Amino acid sequence: MSKKLGLASAVLLLAMTAIMGCTANNNAAPTNSESASPSESVSPSASPSASTAGSGDYKEAPMLQELVKAGTLPAVDQRLPVKADVMIEPVFESIGKYGGEWRNPWNGPDDKWGIEMMTEEPMFRFKQDGSGVEPNVAKSVDVNADSTEFVIHLRQGMKWSDGMPFTADDVVFYWEHMLIPETFGKALYDCYYSIDPATGEKERAEVTKVDDYSVKVAFKHSSVQFLERLTIDNKWFFAPAHYYKTILPEFIGEDKALEVAKEYGFADTKTLGQWTGYYYWLYPQRPTLRPWVATNDATGNRFIMERNPYYFKTDAEGQQLPYMDRIVLDKMQDPSHKLVETLAGNVDISQFSFADYTVLKENEQKGGYRVIPWTTPNWSSTGVQLNQTAEDPKLRKLFQDIRFREALSVAVDRNEVSEIITSGVGVPAQAAVPASLPGHQDGWDKQWTEFDAAKAEKLFDEIGLKWDGNHKYRTFDDGSNLSLLIYEEKGSDDEKFIELLRKYYDQAGIKTELKIVDQGSYFDLKYANKIPVAVKTVSLVDVALRPDELVPLRVITPWFGHYGLYTSSGGKEGVKPEGDVALILEYWDKVKSAKSKEEITKWSNEIIKLHQKNQWMIGYTAATPYLTVVKNNVKNVPALVNADEFRGIGIAHPQQFYFE
């Protein structure tokens, strides 16, 4: 990433001519489709720091007002969409005021998804109460009766961060030149396929331009959950065509594209397409719709994102968002460094697992911050997954024996785990769907939870596991050594739990070993099917929306191992699912081909019931809160649900955070 373009300089100046040429469209009539009504917002007094600019009723940040006065930036009303299409973002506590830098820790480009979620602007987004999706970059959507056609209406006059118009051409370009040819290294997302209910075959959707501000997504079969799946699978259903036409080989030729790739620091054009296409928010050169845009090289010790002058949202009083000028990300590779800086009051907003709860609470006053607990959709706070396709055939057979999983469950005193690991907050429980989420099954959280060493011993005997000569550890029935190898990602906070787990397994006669590896190695081992045991839980809001952890569609979570590879490769690789795992895939096909939400609920519940029956994931304590730590002078930060589907802290709408 060698090109560095300052937001207030080259990025803006390059597009000035084009901007002035397209502002005449700002008075165009809106489409007939109505915008989604924003939820009711608080209406406190106006911010004293807001300043009126341009000929409209809008206000902008002082740093942008100076650029307008200097003649290097159009007036704010010329930068926003037409008035009817400006998105008004509700605020949580009060109308904010401009200024300030959000100090946020990160560990460099490897931590790309953290800043992505904080700044994401998807086509549609989940509502904060989780009740469904709502238009965001899109203004509205029309859906026909059988959910085979979706006409998405865009906001007229909306612009990219370099001032160029954002239109339906950017959506169609993304479909034709980014998604279909897999320019950014990803296969076409599942949300773009409908399923023939008779044959189970997948049919790809067609995306066409209706007019300058509307696109149609047409399916051969019903796709009832397209909008929800789009919001999860392919949040940014658009790309700046004018930018990619200057870097992709199909437009400028392989030789010129290779020159561009090298300017960006890449050895080939394929990598250029992948990183600028999929991790685009890290690059100052790439225009975006986000509230803050990159200003420098993300590989350095400090990465800065600065407000987007063309951001399409305001608050209820006409102040263009975001309120905060910049996000400043200081590189902190060691998690303990992040904690120390937060305790010292040097971080404005950050998030932590519950493992740090005690020390964070003890230092609240000293650090000048508050700890806001967020709930999670986790099935447990401490848990174990046994790879059902483990490479070792003897381990695979053992792991697939439900009696072994039950024995490992009852062999552990959950009360002690609860007190030592969660300070009693995560009560003794089995890994199960929480009561507040779809698919909850009464009594599931109590399954196999009673500490019973004698029962564990009996189950091991029934399986045929023998004792070694010293009557210390169990062996396979042929007398060969039996040991469980747990892999842990470096930097995780699971070590104390793993040691406690090993103590109980050891007492039950199951030898357990631990191997700590870095994140990249863990990823490689997982894909190679070489992780037999992992300390992992399940975290999802609804299997119908995000099946990844419960349905073996690809290699992603340890319990189903290479069953996922078999599915993703079309049976060419991996391990063929059998029994209840194969049944899960059958039910998932029924979810995808469903013609109503009632059908979706029915078959989703059947998938959940198979998980309850088999207990492939063993949990020891119920979910604990996720901690959002906020400096006391930062306002408009609510307590919500921390879920990947909801984009972590992004669901709090950070563009309306402000410094008091």
Which of 137-146, 209-218, 324-333 has the lowest average pLDDT?
Answer: 324-333
Before 322, cis peptide (omega within 30)?
yes
- Close Cβ partners of 256 (under 8 Å, ≥ 6 residues apart): none
Q: What is the pLDDT of residue 15?
A: 34
Give the dihedral sign, CA 434/130/184/568.
Answer: positive
Q: What is the pLDDT of residue 2?
A: 36
Strands 326-331 and 101-106: parallel
Residue boundaries of the structural domains of the chain: 10-314, 382-621
Q: What is the average pLDDT across 137-166?
A: 97
User: Tell me: the pLDDT tens digits for 218-274?
Assistant: 999 999 999 999 999 999 999 999 999 999 999 999 999 999 999 999 999 999 999
**Are residues 560 and 566 in contact, defined by beta-carbon separation less than 8 angstroms?**
no
Question: Under CATH, which number does the domain 10-314 receive?
Answer: 3.90.76.10
Q: What is the pLDDT of residue 109?
A: 87
Q: What is the pLDDT of residue 198?
A: 87
Find where tokens 């989703």 sit: 604
Share of the chain above pLDDT 90, in %: 82
Residue 330 has pLDDT above 90, yes or no: yes
Residue 399 has pLDDT above 80, yes or no: yes
Q: What is the pLDDT of residue 56?
A: 57
Q: What is the average pLDDT across 341-361?
A: 94
**Which two tokens mark 388?**
């059902």
pTM score, whole prediction: 0.83
Give CA separation, 276 vs 40, 240, 281, 284, 464, in Å. Answer: 37, 11, 8, 10, 55
User: Tell me: the pLDDT tens digits for 436-458?
Assistant: 899 999 999 999 999 999 999 99
Q: What is the CA radius of gyration of the chain?
A: 26
In terms of CATH architecture, what is 382-621?
Answer: Roll (3.10)
Q: What is the average pLDDT across 73-84?
A: 97
Give the dihedral sign, CA 101/105/107/113.
Answer: negative
Q: What is the average pLDDT across 402-408?
A: 98
Give CA separation, 542 vs 239, 439, 608, in Å. Answer: 29, 8, 10
- Residue 374's CB is within 10 A of a number of other CB atoms, namely 19
Give CA–CA dist 61/259, Å, rounded. Answer: 38
Using pLDDT thresholds of 50, 70 and 90, give the confidence band for residue 336.
confident
Q: What is the pLDDT of residue 599?
A: 94
Q: What is the average pLDDT across 293-315?
A: 96
Q: What is the 3-state secondary structure (H, E, C) of 36-62?
A: CCCCCCCCCCCCCCCEECCCCCCEECH
Q: What is the average pLDDT across 392-408?
A: 98
Average pLDDT for the chain: 90
Complete edge-to-edge strand list for the sheet that includes strand 349-352:
349-352, 626-631, 369-374
Which of 5-19, 118-132, 164-178 has the lowest average pLDDT?
Answer: 5-19
For residue 199, the one-letter residue type is: T
Phi/psi for 82 (5° steps) reads -55, 150
Residue 50 has pLDDT above 60, yes or no: no
For residue 33, the one-letter residue type is: S
DSSP structural state of residue 177: I
